[in-house]
Structure 1
Amino acid sequence: MTTAPSARLHLALVMLSFAAGAADAFAFLALSGTFTANMTGNLVLAAMFTRPGWLRTALCALVAVASFAVVLYLGFRHSRGQVLAGDHRRLVRRLLVPSSAAQGVVVVVWLATGAAPDVAVQCAVIALSAGALALQTVAAKRLSDIDGITTTYVTGSLTTTMQDLAERHDAGQLFRLLSIAAVPAGAVVATAVLHLALGAGPLVAFVVATAAALVALPRIRRTT
């Protein structure tokens, strides 16, 4: 059985929210105007058929949605046993570590193509990034002891925050607000990095997600 101090987990979740904002900004600016965390946005983009370059954007958006959905299903299915066993360490290893590794592959592919991949490679990169963020979403749902922290989309966190404010519930509000603020903060940093050095675009999401996984891992302590 394992237990974990809340502070380390909460910090890791805020870092993951920052990484998700960075990943979405990079994908939107560099990968045919597609998101890899915001699936609502992708579905809307895929439906805007009068938009210039719509066919390419729709293809990439649907690849992102499909990858996110499939990996989300697999992540929830194959992590259920660890949740029942209370094995948080294994949850981190099975969800956050592969998520970070997938973001690392995104960096490698991006650099290998000279930051100018063709459509097929873009779709592969999008699928990898969306899959990584799906695993991150599963990890947040499985590990968080605070309702409403999803790390990859703000609507759920904002809804829970406003509901708790209306109902005078204070539990977890600070970390929900930090998680919400971290998403645009990550987007700002990734946008700046992409503007200054095109090849470094996906590095922000990878570095921060990897750091979050490292923060989460040592938080587990064995108990009898």
Structure 2
Amino acid sequence: MRRPTTAGLYTSGLLLLTAATGAIDAVSFLALDGVFTGNMTGNVLFLAFALVGVPDIPLLNNAFALLGFALGSVVGGRLVRRGHPVGLPVRSAWLLVAGTALVFVLVGVWAAVGELAGVGQITLTAVLAALMGAQVAAVKPVGNTDITTVVVTSTLANVTRESRLGGGRQTPSQWRHRTFAIVAMGAGAALGAAVLRLADGPVALAASGIVFAAGVTMLLVARADQQRSARQQAHAAAAAERPTEVLAAR
């Protein structure tokens, strides 16, 4: 069996996080009063509907989801910073691990509190949205622009616009990444909705957290593999220089 490449491991991790976003969005939309925590496009539209008086649109929930996502992205950007080589910086790794732990803390709090309403829904929505925003900042250095992990609108546009039918050209790798990202988002949403039909919100969020944890684990494995390869290359380069140094000394 062929060993997965570092790039393949990173791709798998990003796809799992995309699926986790779909699952968490299913939970937030279906169990937290019709609000998305990862798909901010939907929240912007809902917020606009609410502002012009469309009934039954949760204005505060959508507003706090937007603010939470923005805050998480800002904090994540500050923590991770810029200028990293392609890969997963150590701060990104810690941020993702902390995010995984936070999901399961929220599961425990939700299970302990029971049915949420009002402030409880808004708080949980805002925290989950902040987690999604921070996650985007954490995976940005991986450098795969075809898998954004939180939205697939631009992904769908790219995979169709740049297809042969659309008169464009995309590499097989780009086609796979973009297509799998769309499928992963849908599969995650289906998982979240299915678990909600069988159980309750905390259980569905726990299932989403398991997918999130799997994605983070895959990214950490990819990071370790990348570091191992870098060390091996450094050792090989050092070994290749030694004969030259010996000859020069003679």
**Highest Rg: 1 or 2?**
2
Residues in 1 aligned to 2:11 and 2:197: alpha-carbon distance in whole angstroms:
30
Alpha-carbon distance, 1:80 to partner: 2.0
Alpha-carbon distance, 1:11 to partner: 0.4
Residues in 2 aligned to 1:140 and 1:158: alpha-carbon distance in whole angstroms:
20
Gaps in structure 2 of 5+ consecutive residues? 235-250
- What is the number of residues matched between the two proteins? 216
Residue 193 of structure 2 aligns with an amino acid whose one-letter code is T
Superposition map of 1:4-153 within 5 A: 5-49=6-50, 50-54=53-57, 57-81=58-82, 83-84=83-84, 88-114=88-114, 116-144=115-143, 146-153=144-151
Are the equivalent residues in 2 in contact too, given 1:67–1:131 (CA < 8 A)?
Answer: yes
Are the equivalent residues in 1 in contact too, given 2:86–2:142 (CA < 8 A)?
Answer: no
Residues in 1 aligned to 2:6 and 2:92: alpha-carbon distance in whole angstroms:
14
Question: 86-95 or 61-70, which moves further after superposition?
Answer: 86-95
2:201 is the counterpart of 1:203: no
Residue 118 of structure 1 aligns with an amino acid whose one-letter code is A
Residue 179 of structure 1 aligns with an amino acid whose one-letter code is A
Alpha-carbon distance, 1:29 to partner: 0.6
Residues in 2 aligned to 1:209 and 1:181: alpha-carbon distance in whole angstroms:
16
Residues in 1 aligned to 2:87 and 2:11: alpha-carbon distance in whole angstroms:
18
Residues in 2 aligned to 1:19 and 1:84: alpha-carbon distance in whole angstroms:
25
Residues in 2 aligned to 1:131 and 1:216: alpha-carbon distance in whole angstroms:
20
2:152 to 145, 151, 154: 154
Residues in 2 aligned to 1:29 and 1:131: alpha-carbon distance in whole angstroms:
19
Alpha-carbon distance, 1:156 to partner: 2.1
2:184 is the counterpart of 1:185: no
Deviation sequence 1:38-72 (CA, Å, 0-9, x none): 11111111222344433xx1100110100101111
Residue in 1 aligned with 2:243? none
Are the equivalent residues in 2 in contact too, given 1:46–1:62 (CA < 8 A)?
Answer: yes
Residues in 1 aligned to 2:89 and 2:81: alpha-carbon distance in whole angstroms:
14
Residues in 2 aligned to 1:92 and 1:77: alpha-carbon distance in whole angstroms:
11
Residues in 2 aligned to 1:156 and 1:140: alpha-carbon distance in whole angstroms:
18
Deviation sequence 1:135-194 (CA, Å, 0-9, x none): 2222332213x3331111111222232343242121422022111111111111111101
SS in 2 for 1:53: coil
Superposition map of 1:167-182 within 5 A: 167-170=168-171, 171-182=173-184
Residues in 1 aligned to 2:98 and 2:209: alpha-carbon distance in whole angstroms:
11
What is the root-mean-square deviation in Å for CA atoms of aligned residues?
Answer: 1.9
Are the equivalent residues in 2 in contact too, given 1:72–1:134 (CA < 8 A)?
Answer: yes
Residues in 2 aligned to 1:173 and 1:17: alpha-carbon distance in whole angstroms:
16
SS in 2 for 1:201: helix
Residue 113 of structure 1 aligns with an amino acid whose one-letter code is V
Residues in 1 aligned to 2:181 and 2:86: alpha-carbon distance in whole angstroms:
24
Are the equivalent residues in 2 in contact too, given 1:107–1:202 (CA < 8 A)?
Answer: yes
Relative to the length of structure 1, the TM-score reads 0.88
SS in 1 for 2:81: helix
Residue in 1 aligned with 2:221? 218
Are the equivalent residues in 2 in contact too, given 1:149–1:157 (CA < 8 A)?
Answer: yes
Residue 132 of structure 2 aligns with an amino acid whose one-letter code is L
